[in-house]
Amino acid sequence: MTSKTSRPVTDTILNFIGGSFRKGSQGKTFANVNPATGQTIGTVHEASEADVADAVAAAKAALNGPWGKMTTAERVKLIVAVAAEIERRSDDFLEAEVVDTGKPRHVASHIDIPRGAANFRMFADVIATMPNESFTTPTPDGGQAINYAVRKPKGVIAVICPWNFPLLLMTWKVGPALACGNTVVIKPSEETPRTAALLGEVMNEVGMPEGVYNVVHGFGQSSAGEYLTSNKDVDAITFTGETGTGQAIMQKAAIGVRDVSFELGGKNAAIVFADADLDKAIEGLSRSVFLNTGQVCLGTERVYVERPLFDEFVRRMTLAAQAFKPGAIDDPAYLGPLSSAEHREKVLGYYAKAVEEGATVVTGGGVPEVDGDQAGGFYVEPTLWTGLAHDSTVMREEIFGPCCGLILFDSEDEVIALANDTDYGLCATVWTENISRAHRVAAAMQVGVCWVNCWFLRDLRTAFGGSGHSGIGREGGVHSLEFYTETENICVKL
């Protein structure tokens, strides 16, 4: 064990339990790989079942320690200090995120790291200004009673994080959890462990009480993920990731009837009407299809284009796809790698499946030639298809790569039915200059979020989540409080 104030060696990523950095008690480690090069850049210490139990015990103890005795104002002051420290150390967080994910530096510096700090600030503001409801109730004897609500922390929250936006999506959960007075045990993706560990340093630097924030590294089944979700002292589980994993976690959560909040997969649709501003649509959809190499839960994999605009849209979207440069790491047009060799094989499998199912490959469809250190990276070509049937495999299953199928349509009713014909329901985009149509079609989408003439424009106070196979619950602003607190009603007879 290192001391509480010591900083873990850069190339060695340790667990963070009860305010201290620790090796795994069983001595197991695994490689931390930079997907942009395919090279091992560090060693991660895997948490054993005993280590996970220690982390949960530390989190539980903190609820009855100084953290549990703090006022809301005192908690808010600490959480704001965390945000400020992330901003002060933004270069450290940026470097950790870039080497873990391989994503373009300008993307991580403008999205991932600022949002990591913003998530703490926003939820500190929400909890500081959140009113509790109260009612004056007439009683049968002609008197009155007062009913008022008290929000209490739910307890120890297990936070299972994805690899595509490691810091952003982790703090999106940790921010409200801590603001509401809970403690957390984080299980970051085994592919992107660095920023979760780095945040442990920040927690110590700002004086966060021991056990409030804990990190255990490892995998899912028979590793840290399963140990954490199976621990009886975990009071609730929040997870962002693949739908199948969410279903497995839900089975664990059923033991003890523990609450869950899930943001899961998506097969998100875009609808481009003939009256759309084509410049806006191409700019927005080139981001929603290719940002982070398509590894965005809110990304677009199905694009329905009205017939009069279809040919020109395909031409313009092709030019946009071909402008990206896989492997050109210092170029502003750099398209980063996929997260791992395994994920690249999955995506390439769908590329081959599209051709089997009759797709015309408009552009891409394979592995680019990349030179230098990036030659071993996990790159694929940005890819567009036409000619696919709406019910083909690649138009039904989530791929999570830089690709989409382009399908033409002829009527509003037709395209609404096509867009909604999916097991998923995370988000959609609608592109039209007809304001009435915009409102009408957006309201008809069976999703948690629908953007009109934009994409990824977020107000962190608004409800966020999906329906169907895309998740359970809503996060954001006051909506997060419903998951991270238990509400007690107190009735006083006057």
Arithmetic mean of pLDDT, 43-55: 98
* Residue 459 confidence (pLDDT) above 70: yes
Q: How many CB atoms lie within 10 A of CB 221?
A: 8
| Three-state secondary structure string covering 321-377 | HHCCEECCCCCCCEECCCCCHHHHHHHHHHHHHHHHCCCEEEECCCCCCCCHHHHHC
Cα gap 183→213, rounded to integer Å: 6
pLDDT of residue 434: 98
pTM: 0.94
Q: How many CB atoms lie within 10 A of CB 64?
A: 10
pLDDT tens, position by position, 72-105? 999 999 999 999 999 999 999 999 999 999 999 9
User: Alpha carbon of 340 to those of 285, 327, 380: distances in Å?
Assistant: 25, 15, 11
pLDDT of residue 329: 87
Cα gap 321→289, rounded to integer Å: 9
* Residue 328 confidence (pLDDT) above 80: yes
Cβ(351)–Cβ(379) under 8 Å?
no
Cβ(124)–Cβ(24) under 8 Å?
no
* Residue 1 confidence (pLDDT) above 80: no
Active-site positions? 263, 297
Arithmetic mean of pLDDT, 100-125: 96
Scanning the structure block, which residue is given the tokens 């808010």?
76
* Residue 6 confidence (pLDDT) above 80: no
The values of phi and psi at residue 187, to 5°, are -120, 95
Question: Which of 261, 235, 284, 269 is CA-nearest to residue 415?
Answer: 269
* Residue 375 confidence (pLDDT) above 60: yes
Concatenated DSSP letters for 59-100? HHHHHTSHHHH--HHHHHHHHHHHHHHHHHTHHHHHHHHHHH
| Reported confidence tier of residue 330, pLDDT bands at 50, 70, 90 | confident
Cβ(167)–Cβ(194) under 8 Å?
no
pLDDT of residue 10: 56
